[in-house]
Structure 1
Amino acid sequence: MLLSVPNEILNRVALEADSQTRRHLRSTCQLLRDVATPLVFESVNIDLSSMLHSSSAPIFLKSLNSGPKLAQHIIRLSLYLPTKFRLHPSWFALRESTLHSLDVLFLHAIPSMVSLKSLCWRSSGESGPNYAELVFELFGNLPLLSSLQIYNDGHWDIPLSPFRHIRHISYRGQRSSELITFLGYNPDIESIDAHVWCSGPDVDERGSISLLFSSLPTGTYSTVKTLSIGGEMFSELYACEIPKLISHLRHLESLTMHITIPDVFWDGLQEHGICLVSLTYYDPSLALLSYLSSYTGLRELSLNMLSASIDGNLHISSLLPTVITSNSSSLTTVHIEPHHGGAWCLDHPMLDALVLCRGLKSLHVCADETRVRVEENNVIDRILQASMTSWPNLWDLQIRVVPLADEAVKMATSQIHRRILALRFAPLPPERSRLQISTEFAAYAVKIHDRKNNIYAFEMQDLDYHGDKES
């Protein structure tokens, strides 16, 4: 009977099944095994350190390159290799007799990973295994590998040079000269996510963001579209470097920065017509908000204000509703999270602008104690009502209280909690099946249980710090 079922239906069954069901399908018959196997092995995690103590590890590693050749189905691979606390020799000096049998099986399987698109490498310790360079050279030759994630908790330069076809690089770890060299080999890279820490307290190790593009050949410019920078290593940007840096950011669409950027940078983006669709930044200025007001099409805006409100901030913050209003047709994410009360906290002008953003999916705002206490026309009541009526696609609403004295925060969060409980939650619109609300008091959810019969439920989930009676 199963043989008469069209392959399209069998593929659909396997596609809709969860990971455990797919594994069970593989053990039923050859037909379902063929259908489910590519889905089961499209994402694989290999930890050779733990495999040394597993009796099934040799069977699995052999199957990657022989028999069913499972390696050909791997699209995403997460890899952790054992740490060797000694310098590794050059790869051509290796002999298979010097390696553990599991290492040999793994090395032989890499060339068969012809479908691999994403590699996540995690490492620690003072040095890598003695075959690290060979591993990276084998991966570097794979035809479809375009995304590379490096999590380096150790103190050795991971050999990135063999990778010549990467389009997306994410590096988190200690200072690495290999990262700069790698970017020079890949002028066509589209996404850079670099959070690099100095290996010691020496301030002299810190450098400018422009170093990321310093190894590109003269006359060659980056085509990066997404740039995210963090950590102590790339923590400077000087005004004199900005014209040269802008030339590498001509295609920039998404920017995440955790350092202070000179105002001339935003002026440069505006002058060259570079329009961001996504921005995460922590120190908004008049130049930044003027830049964001100069175009439309912004989809994601996250501002995290660390400094306290001063007189100048009152004028700057007044531009924020203008930015939101002018981009109301495109904004899907708005996170405005000051660390102090006052100008940047949720108020009625800001909410009036947010209500116009019908496409909002994620909204994070902060309230201060003064506005929470208001009894008539309370801004918290308004935003809760808007979450049900004005934003049909909203699923994530976060309302935090700016840091105050502990008792003041507890009182303010309790008042927000009571207002949430007092809200008469209407049925969710057909476009969404849930709404998640979170505060420092608790996490709340409105969920559809039976759309046909219009049955939904409001649930108070995990208690947070100020909602925990023991605290």
Structure 2
Amino acid sequence: MSNGTMRSRNAVRLTRDSRTPAASGQQEHTTPGQIRFFLPDRQCFMLLQLPAELLLQISALLSHDTQKNLRLVCKPLHDVTTEFVFATFRINFSNDAKMLDWNMLNELAMRSTDMWRYVKVLRLTHPSPLVFPFADHNAWRNSTKDIIRGLSKAIVSLENVTTVYWTSVKDIDNTIVEALILSISRLPSLQKFTIYMTSRMLTPVPRFQLKNLTFMDISLCRPPWDDFIRDSLPSILENSPNLSFLSLADGTNGPMGSLGSLFQNLHRPLRLESLVIHNLSVPPLSILHPHFQSLTSLVLSSTGNLPPGFWFGIQANNVHLRSLNIDDVDAALLDYLLSYTDVEAIRLKVPGDNAVYDELGIKFYSQVLPHHSATLDSLSILPTFEGTWSLQDSTMLPVLQCRRLVSLSMSVRLSDISDLTEPSIVSDLLHSIKSLHNLSSLYLAPSFSLHAPLSFPEKRWKASIMLGQVIEAVNTIPNQDPYLALEIFVQPFGGSYRAYWDTESGFSSFLCSHSCPQ
């Protein structure tokens, strides 16, 4: 049985007991604070005999709904679970948001609740036009200042918040954006800040200050992106000496922006451990290398051609990356990977279909992969077109020698699965992964011939369905650990195909619409 299954069944049992006091022999009890509890039965009293530290650990493993139900059982469980129930607070700016959110926001703004003590994570979401909680709903258009004032007070009251996630996919009133940004900048304990703003703003992002960040993930569209790079980001980086994770993404379609001036004008080197750059041109290494001395993880996505000598320069500066996620492959990258050992995660996309890429694929599987097989726990090789990078007999053995793999993503040549009556490379793989004792996630994607007659979306969909049928044709999948379920993901165009196998439920597969991690 998987850990998720065991947790789910425990959650159902605990929820049933806490909601049906008569059936379980419980008696109702109300505290002076008007919180209604049920006196627990004998089994629950046995649970309460556990040390408080152990109860905290147990509560942390339960689902959020179960934690909320446990708060109603008795005061000791109420006290133990409260910090988990209120650890994350969401502000949903949408017409269908729960009124509880608005009531709680108003209580926070008025300081009539002490919930602020427990909130560590604040999530702001804007899925649709804003609805304002701090004014008369019949006259909200005339009370924007009151709305902004109340919203700001509510956010600022969460002085123990360490993490803020802000996601916006719709156009936002600029006054609301400014109020939110300035309120967030006043949170004294903030360490991690993430903002994904896919909508455009007519006015610049207001200048703001953040200090002592350890994690920053920014995705904006231009022109606000340019304003942020120029006006706010340099001072944030300067005032965050412990910043270890930095992700910068430009969500604008069109010519890529540059980061050269940002890194060049910093007065002191950053001590980054992880850097993500998406849809932005990478500056020359002469500008970046002062900030790479502690770097262990690098993601370069949709960055175009890298500056000349980029990988040679990293190698010369003794920067030994433990995790690489690179959109393109060249000989310099493979030479860099051969210059040291102990890489833990490799993810490569191979966009081309020519003899040069085929030669690089042969070198990767014959030299690079064996070089890091003792330490690699995550491997993702996803070429678009058929070739030496795809899964085949010659590449399977080097993959299976990576005995520590937990996650594996590979592409399968469409020509290898076109005949469902014959044994396929997929069947060989599924029957061979018994040697990968730690593997829990397998992602498979089809790769195509450059000259296939169908359009790419149609090819991808049909190939993924064929791949799913190949998986279903495999009757058994060996698994060494009865408590470890192997998840197999196949993502067609517009949906995902998932297959599960464990020793208790056997093998099953189905189509669903959720996206799968790659």
TM-score range, shorter chain: 0.7 to 0.9
Candidates 298, 301, 318, aligned match of 2:343:
298
| Partner SS, residue 227 of structure 1 | strand
Shift of 1:275: 1.1
Which of 467, 470, 474 matches 1:423? 474
Given the alignment, which residue of 485, 500, 510 partners 1:461?
510
Residue of structure 2 equivalent to 1:33: 78
Question: Which secondary structure does the structure 1 equivalent of 2:437 belong to?
Answer: coil
2:206 maps to 1:159 = yes
CA distance in 2, matches of 1:440, 1:180: 39
In the alignment, does 2:241 pair up with 1:193?
no
Given that residues 119 and 145 in structure 1 are in contact (C-alpha distance below 8 angstroms), is that contact kept between their aligned partners in structure 2? yes
1:411 is displaced (CA, Å) by 8.1
Aligned positions of 1:101-120 closer than 5 A = 101=146, 103-120=148-165
1:113 Cα deviation (Å)? Answer: 1.8
Task: Decide whether aligned partners of structure 1 residues 56 and 197 sit closer, same or farther in structure 2, where only a CA change above 3 A counts.
Answer: closer
* Pick aligned residue for 2:389 from 315, 335, 344: 344
- Aligned with 1:24: secondary structure? helix
Whether 1:225 and 2:273 are equivalent positions in the alignment is yes
Q: Secondary structure at the match of 2:189?
A: coil
Measured at CA, do residues 330 and 166 of structure 1 come closer, stay the same or move farther in structure 2, by a change above 3 Å?
A: same
Amino acid at match of 2:277: I
Inter-CA distance 51–184: structure 2 relative to 1 (3 Å threshold) = same
Q: State the SS of the aligned residue for 1:33.
A: helix
Query: Alignment partner for residue 209 of structure 1, among 259, 270, 276?
Result: 259
1:433 shift after superposition: 1.9
Can you give the 5+ residue segments of structure 1 that lack an aligned partner in the other structure? Answer: 85-96, 450-455, 465-471
Q: Secondary structure at the match of 1:158?
A: coil
- Corresponding residue number in structure 2 for 1:380: 426
TM superposition score normalised by structure 1? 0.80
2:334–2:364 contact (8 Å) kept in structure 1: yes
Contact 2:315-2:336 at 8 Å conserved across structures: yes
Query: Secondary structure of the residue that 1:37 maps to in structure 2?
Result: helix
CA distance in 2, matches of 1:38, 1:227: 32
Distance 1:51 1:415 in 2: 40
In the alignment of these two chains, the number of paired residues is 433
Corresponding residue to 1:320 among 354, 364, 385: 364
**How far 1:134 sits from its partner (Å)?**
4.9
Hey, what does 2:297 align to over in structure 1? 254
Structure 1 residue 435 corresponds to structure 2 residue 479: no
Shift of 1:237: 3.9
CA distance in 1 between counterparts of 2:72 and 2:508 reads 39
CA drift of 1:65 comes to 6.0
Superposition pairs for residues 82-97 of structure 1, below 5 Å?
Answer: none
- The residue aligned with 1:447 is 502
- Given that 1:304 and 1:336 are in contact with CA atoms closer than 8 Å, whether structure 2 keeps it comes out as yes
Q: Could you say which residue in structure 1 is the equivalent of 2:15?
A: none
Q: Is the 8 A contact 1:83 1:124 kept in 2?
A: no
Question: How far apart, in 1, do the equivalents of 2:351 and 2:432 lie?
Answer: 28
Tell me what 1:182 maps to: 232
1:448/1:377 CA distance change after superposition, 3 Å:
closer
> Which secondary structure state, in structure 2, belongs to the residue aligned with residue 312 of structure 1?
helix
Letter in 2 for 1:248: H
**Amino acid of the residue matched to residue 315 of structure 2?**
Q
Q: Return the match for 1:171 from 218, 231, 238.
A: 218
Over 3 Å counting, the alpha-carbon distance change for 1:38 and 1:102 in structure 2 is farther
In the superposition, relative to structure 1, how do residues 287 and 83 fare at CA in structure 2: closer, same or farther (>3 Å)? same
Aligned-partner SS, 2:84:
helix
Separation of aligned partners in 1, 2:339 and 2:73:
60
1:326 offset after TM fit, Å?
A: 0.7
The structure-2 alpha-carbon separation of the partners of 1:160 and 1:214, relative to structure 1 and needing over 3 Å to count, comes to farther
Q: CA deviation at 1:208?
A: 2.5
SS in 2 for 1:354: helix
CA distance in 1, matches of 2:115, 2:446: 51
**Identity across the alignment (%):** 20
Which whole-Å CA distance do the structure 2 matches of 1:130 and 1:337 have between them? 44
SS at 1:436's partner residue? Answer: strand
Comparing 278-287 with 245-254, greater Cα deviation is found at 245-254
Find the residue that maps to 2:383 and give its secondary structure: coil
Q: C-alpha deviations, 1:183-212, integer Å up to 9, x for none?
A: 3222432222122134x75x4xx4333234
* Letter matched to residue 303 of structure 1: L
Q: Assess if the C-alpha contact under 8 Å between 2:91 and 2:101 holds in 1.
A: no
- Does the CA contact (< 8 Å) of 1:62 and 1:105 recur in 2? no
Q: Distance in 2 between matches of 1:126 and 1:410?
A: 33
Question: Is 2:355 aligned against 1:311?
Answer: yes
CA distance in 1, matches of 2:114, 2:95: 22
User: Using the alignment, how far apart are the partners of 1:408 and 1:142 within structure 2?
Assistant: 50
Contact (CA 8 Å) 2:327, 2:350: kept in 1 or not? yes
CA deviations on 1:203-237 (whole Å, 9 max, x unpaired) are: 4xx433323424412xx222222121223xx2x34
Query: Which letter does structure 1 place at the counterpart of 2:362?
Result: S
Call closer, same or farther: CA 1:80–1:179 in 2, change over 3 Å: farther
Instruction: Label 1:282 to 1:17 Cα distance change in 2 as closer, same or farther (>3 A).
Output: closer
Unaligned runs of 5+ in 2: 1-38, 131-141, 514-518
**What CA distance in whole angstroms lies between the structure 1 residues aligned with 2:338 and 2:483?**
31
1:324 Cα deviation after fit: 1.1
Report if the CA contact (8 A) 2:437-2:480 is conserved: yes
Residue by residue, what CA displacement relative to the aligned partner does 1:151-195 show, whole Å, maximum 9, x if unpaired? 222324433632122221111221222234433222432222122
- Corresponding residue for residue 452 of structure 1: none
